[in-house]
A and B are shown apart, each in its own frame.
Chain A
Amino acid sequence: MILLGNYLILSGIVFSIGLVGVMTSRNVLRVLLSLELLLAASNLSFVAFSKYNGDYAGQLIVFFVILVAAAEVAIGLAIIVVMYRRLSTIQADELKEMKW
Chain B
Amino acid sequence: MSSYFFYLFAAILIFASLAVIWARNPLYNVLALVVAIFSLSCLFVLLEAFFVGMVLLLVYAGAVLVFFLFVVMCLNLNAITLNSVQQIRFRWWGCVLGLTFAFTFLYAAKSFILAQTMDPSTLRGTIETIGKILFTEYLLPFELTSLLLLIAIFGIVSLAQGALSTGKDDEGP
Interface residue ranges, A against B (CB under 8 Å):
1-10, 12-27, 29-30, 32-34, 36-37, 40, 43-44, 47-48, 50-56, 59-60, 62-64, 66-71, 73-75, 77-82, 84-86, 89-91, 93
Contact, CB under 8 Å: A33 / B68:
yes
Q: Which residues B34-71 have CB closer than 8 A to chain A? A: 36-37, 40, 43-44, 46-49, 51-52, 55-56, 59-60, 63-64, 67-68, 71
Give the top 4 A-B pairs by smallest Cβ distance, nearest first.
A23-B94, A5-B113, A54-B121, A20-B98
Majority-rule SS of A interface residues: helix
Please count how many residues in chain B sit with their CB below 8 Å of the partner chain's CB atoms. 87
Contact across chains for B64 and A48 when beta carbons are under 8 A apart: no
B67–chain A nearest beta-carbon distance, Å: 6
- Interface residues of chain B, those whose CB is within 8 Å of chain A, are 2-3, 6, 10, 13-14, 17-18, 20-21, 26, 29-30, 33, 36-37, 40, 43-44, 46-49, 51-52, 55-56, 59-60, 63-64, 67-68, 71-72, 74-75, 77, 80, 82-83, 86-87, 90-91, 93-95, 97-99, 101-102, 105-106, 109, 112-113, 116, 118-123, 125, 129-130, 133-134, 138, 141-142, 145, 148-149, 151-152, 155-156, 159-160, 162-163, 167-168, 171
